[in-house]
Structure 1
Amino acid sequence: MMKKSLLQTLAATAMTAALGLTLMGAPAQAASRPVDVTKYTISDVTYTKGQLGCTQTPVKATIKKSSAYKYYSVQAPVTRNGKLLTTLFFSDRTKKNVEKLQTCPFQGTGKFVIGKSKISAYSGDYRYSWMNKTDGTTKTFYVRGKGYASLLAKRSGKKVTFQSAAKYYSTKKYTNLAYNPKSAKIQVKKGSKWVTLKTVKFSKGKATTTATLKSSKAAQFRLTFPKTTTVTGSTSKVVKK
């Protein structure tokens, strides 16, 4: 029994010593994330009439890196509606952590997402590695066709009749098409502020609206509508009547 107990004690001592050597041999940062993407920065993309080719948009990755790991790579997928379009690659050799993302009209408009990414990291002497780990940081941006608003007005005393029109650039047809924006408003300028006069409902890209004002004095008007996930917002030129 004493012999068996002695053997167990020696085995436990050897295991403890080996574990101690292992912990001493690895850098303290190895227990945490050696490379961490904290943010992606990109501007929304807008297509306009006459723009047939693809667009190159800068994407900046903000990356925190442990000094214990000299080399790293980040593979950031770019998706639309869950479908992979391309992959951005960042590494220790990427200048200022900026890459160019190519988007093309045939890919469509709407919501695009960068991430989640796969990250690998290596120490300078390759003794330590951190392979194919998932980084949960994502960035949503939007690709839109440009919206266009126009307004005409006719006045008779206090009554004003407005002819509104709206179009947007279609990446499918490569031209401007009639557009029925929601929450479109005709506004009148009062002092230094624009105040909503009428909410406009469009049909086939056009709308006719009348308004009766308190005064027959000339005023300034404009048409405006907000952006959506696929079309930019727009404000018409000012009309004075």
Structure 2
Amino acid sequence: MRRSARTKLALLATAAVISLTAGLVTVPAASAATRPVEVTGFTAGNMVFGAPGCKYNTIKVKRSVSRSVEDFDISTDVTRNGYVEDFLWFSGSDASERIFVCDWQGLGAYRIGPSDVFGYTHDFARVFDYVDRTGKTFYVRGKARAGISSYRKGNYVTVKVTARYYNPSVSRYSYFSPSGVKIQRKTTSGWKTIKTVNLRKGGASYRTYKPGKANYRAVVPQKTRTTADISGTTRR
């Protein structure tokens, strides 16, 4: 099995202690001004839950490595709301890791980084251990469901829209109140937004003048914790 850079350095330190009778072994620290390994970015997919469960998310790290580096490891935190949810471990030869995310861990923004970069150059000429602040955010969202209904009174049509999302706290769909929900009417040139509303207590309504029949739909926008969705149509 391949030993990590940290394990190899521990073995070196043990050898150094044994060698003290023959002479002092010095391992110079890394300079903050020059970093032999630079984390340049991460790639990660967003995740969606529509039912209770857990899923894997593959995270890849991009890095720039000096030719002088013999071996290194990158240990990266994954946090949500400032709390550590998981961590990633990238070796010098492996730039891909997977984390296991369950719906009950919570929806919203997950932050990858900062990272502890640790390793050494050829012949242990230099040891480095520092924190790299490069980061990446991915989102875990609950699936949203937009609803629409309508009724007519004379030449006026009242359109009612609703929004629900998968709520891990109760393991079922709950009403929520997103802003920026579009009420659209079908025209000869396509769907036209006739009103943008902010939902309250999971719903909103809009009354419009329209003597002739038409099709209507609602468009719920994507948010940090919920996906976008387009309702079915209602005709009045």
TM-score, normalised with respect to structure 2: 0.79
Residue pair 2:108, 2:139 contacting (<8 A) in 1 also: yes
Shift in Å, 1:191: 4.0
Match of 2:214 in 1: 219
Match of 2:6 in 1: none
Consecutive unaligned residues of structure 1, counting only runs of 5 or more, are 1-25
Residue pair 1:198, 1:211 contacting (<8 A) in 2 also: no
Residue pair 1:151, 1:239 contacting (<8 A) in 2 also: yes
Residue pair 1:36, 1:63 contacting (<8 A) in 2 also: yes
Residue pair 2:163, 2:220 contacting (<8 A) in 1 also: no
- Relative to its length, the structure with more helix (as a share) is 1
Greater Cα shift, 152-161 or 60-69:
152-161
Deviation digits for residues 100-156 of structure 1, max 9, x if unmatched? 1221222211221111111012224333221x2111101112212111101123345
CA distance in 2 between counterparts of 1:139 and 1:113 reads 6
Consecutive unaligned residues of structure 2, counting only runs of 5 or more, are 1-27
Residue pair 2:58, 2:98 contacting (<8 A) in 1 also: yes
Which one has the largest radius of gyration? Answer: 1
Q: Quick one: which of 121, 132, 147 aligns to 1:123?
A: 121
Shift in Å, 1:30: 11
The reply on whether 1:200 has 2:197 as its aligned counterpart is yes
Match of 2:162 in 1: 165
- Listed as ranges, the matches of 1:75-94 within 5 Å are 75-94=75-94
- Relative to its length, the structure with more strand (as a share) is 2
Match of 2:99 in 1: 101
The reply on whether 1:34 has 2:36 as its aligned counterpart is yes
Distance verdict in 2 for CA 1:30–1:139, change over 3 Å:
closer
Tell me the C-alpha RMSD between the 2 structures: 2.4
Percent identity between the two aligned chains: 33
Residue pair 1:34, 1:121 contacting (<8 A) in 2 also: no
